Amino acid sequence: MFRNILVVCVGNICRSPTAELLLRNALATSTIAVTSAGLSARVGEAMEPSARQVLEDRGHCAKAFKARQITPDIVNESDLILVMEKQHVTQVLKMASHARGKVFLLGKWQGEREIQDPYRQGKAAFIHAHALIEDAVCSWAQRLGH
């Protein structure tokens, strides 16, 4: 049973906070905690405005979010770590090799799909990334029993 799920991207201002919010909502009736962090986080920053707007356009509130940096302690506290790109798996394992076996692509159930960073790519890229994240989150939620 997973108690703590961590979602990881680079800056922790676009993809991982989107996935954190969507997965937390999908697992709302469970006791699973969902958080996010960045490999090169823009610590303390709010979500990127376009990412936040796409969420808000779909009825979600992300105003209270603040980015944070992934650390070995955060990795240790996490039972499942979901990342956006294959290179993120490598980076997490460099930081904490003992995490092998608990780090997976968020897009694992979509044929190991990577979700590219929409940062500075325009609103269409954020909408596309959101759709991929939403699809992946639904698959994880189903497999986690929700």
CATH code of the domain in which 49 resides:
3.40.50.2300
Rounded Cα distance, 75 and 81, in Å:
8
Q: What is the pTM of this model?
A: 0.96
Write the pLDDT tens digit of every residue in 42-66.
999 999 999 999 999 999 988 889 9
- Show which residues are catalytic: 9, 15, 117
Q: Given a cut of 90, is residue 25 above it in pLDDT?
A: yes
- Give yes or no for residue 146 having a pLDDT over 80: no
**CA–CA gap between residue 139 and residue 18 (Å, rounded):** 15
Q: Which domain holds residue 63?
A: 4-143
Per-residue model confidence as pLDDT tens digits over 89-144:
999 999 999 999 999 999 999 999 999 999 999 999 999 999 999 999 999 999 99
SS3 category, 107: strand
**How many domains does the chain contain in total?**
1
Q: Tell me, what's the pLDDT at 1? A: 78
